[in-house]
């Protein structure tokens, strides 16, 4: 008997989502748009949480009445609080998808280093403010670049050290992954039925690669055309994490191909640093201190 690998997991395997509500941050382009599109096609009601509502409205028009647009600027905690206050009723799934990658040094409205503030702290605050209305799970997007990340608890916002855009991105995505793991630990400790998942898209063609405002934009453009998988394929790990019914909490989902750059979604591993319980707890406490958001667990 010849062994054969399992059939690739595609959007056709998404269970029916009728009656379910999903919030997707950054849903007006890239992975977020592909995630929202697949969920609406499967029957879900999707809240498009976007900074540019004009682009969000165009997406909602394409997706039909199952999609609604709400303004959310993750670089401004006032906006995060306003968004959360405007969500009525329960939410089955929150997909923390939006993000920035390798941008020049900047600050959010609250003074946070922009990548750490948007990718991690904004989503941390959003999750905490919605936690009492989430009924199923939280999915947080990380990256293979978490492997180069190092959490500097004394200077997370790069105020006393030299800014390096890729190091800052790596820290933010390691923080996202550690947040997903720590959130699951806290769900379990509280006896909650909620689950926390993480996912990464592999090497996917999105507009993140054209926002470094440097020569790297052109270089990455060439690499993407030659090696990257499509945005629709890159969204599959997040969709898997958001919809597979019996997926254990704490799962990290990524592509199954060479170096997890492309392929069908499956549970994957992460660095030893990402599983450091002491740093997970300390990072959580630092995030609560910076955002002034505590979770009702």
Start-to-end CA distance of the chain, whole Å, equals 51
Which pLDDT tens digit goes with each residue over 37-92? 999 999 999 999 999 999 999 999 999 999 999 999 999 999 999 999 999 999 99
At 7 the pLDDT is 81
Distance from C-alpha of 95 to C-alpha of 237, rounded to nearest angstrom: 12
211 domain-assigned: no
> For the whole model, what pTM was predicted?
0.92
Tokens (6 digits) for 272:
């030893």
The mean per-residue pLDDT over the stretch 130-139 comes to: 98
Residue 288 sits at φ, ψ, to 5 deg, of: -60, -40
Instruction: Give 273's pLDDT tier (boundaries 50, 70, 90).
Output: very high
At 228 the pLDDT is 67
Residue 135: enclosing H or E segment and its boundaries? strand 134-141
State the CATH number of the domain containing residue 155.
3.40.50.720
Distance from C-alpha of 23 to C-alpha of 154, rounded to nearest angstrom: 32
At 206 the pLDDT is 72
Residues acting as catalytic residues: 169
Indicate the range of 12-16, 124-128, 223-227, 261-265 predicted with least confidence: 223-227
122 domain-assigned: yes
The count of structural domains within the chain is: 1
Top-confidence residue, 137 or 224: 137
223 domain-assigned: no
| Average of per-residue pLDDT values in the chain | 93
The mean per-residue pLDDT over the stretch 123-132 comes to: 98
Highest-pLDDT range among 7-11, 204-208, 288-292: 288-292
At 120 the pLDDT is 98
At 182 the pLDDT is 98
At 4 the pLDDT is 44
8 A C-beta contact, residue 236 and residue 10: yes
Q: Supply the range of the domain harboring residue 253.
A: 13-204+232-291
106 domain-assigned: yes
1 domain-assigned: no
Residue 118 C-alpha from the chain's centroid: 11
214 domain-assigned: no
Cα–Cα distance list, 273 to 79, 186, 269 (Å) = 32, 19, 12
60 domain-assigned: yes
Residue 170 sits at φ, ψ, to 5 deg, of: -60, -40
Distance from C-alpha of 227 to C-alpha of 203, rounded to nearest angstrom: 8
222 domain-assigned: no
């Amino acid at each position: 008997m010849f062994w054969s690998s399992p059939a690739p997991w595609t959007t056709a395997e998404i269970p029916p989502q009728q009656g379910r509500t999903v919030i997707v941050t950054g849903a007006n382009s890239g992975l977020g748009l592909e995630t929202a599109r697949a969920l609406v096609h499967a029957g879900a009601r999707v809240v498009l949480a976007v900074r540019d509502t004009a682009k969000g409205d165009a997406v909602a028009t394409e997706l039909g009445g199952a999609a609604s647009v709400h303004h959310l600027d993750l670089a401004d905690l006032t906006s995060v609080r306003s968004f959360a206050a405007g969500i009525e009723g329960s939410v089955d799934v929150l997909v923390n998808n939006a993000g920035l990658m390798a941008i020049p040094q900047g600050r959010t409205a609250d003074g946070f280093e922009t990548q750490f503030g948007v990718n991690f702290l904004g989503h941390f605050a959003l999750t905490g403010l919605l936690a009492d209305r989430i009924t199923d799970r939280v999915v947080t997007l990380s990256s293979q670049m978490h492997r180069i990340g190092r959490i500097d608890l004394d200077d997370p916002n790069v105020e006393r050290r030299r800014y390096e855009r890729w190091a800052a991105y790596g820290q933010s995505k390691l923080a996202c992954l550690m947040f997903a793991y720590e959130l699951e630990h806290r769900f379990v400790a509280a006896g909650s039925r909620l689950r926390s998942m993480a996912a990464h898209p592999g090497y996917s063609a999105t507009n993140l690669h054209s926002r470094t405002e440097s020569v790297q934009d052109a270089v990455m453009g060439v690499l993407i055309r030659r090696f990257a998988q499509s945005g629709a394929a890159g969204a599959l790990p997040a969709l898997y994490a958001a919809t597979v019914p019996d997926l254990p909490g704490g799962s990290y989902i990524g592509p199954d191909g060479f170096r997890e750059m492309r392929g069908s979604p499956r549970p994957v591993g992460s660095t030893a640093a990402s599983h450091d319980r002491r740093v997970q707890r300390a990072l959580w406490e630092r995030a609560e201190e910076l955002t002034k958001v505590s979770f009702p667990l």
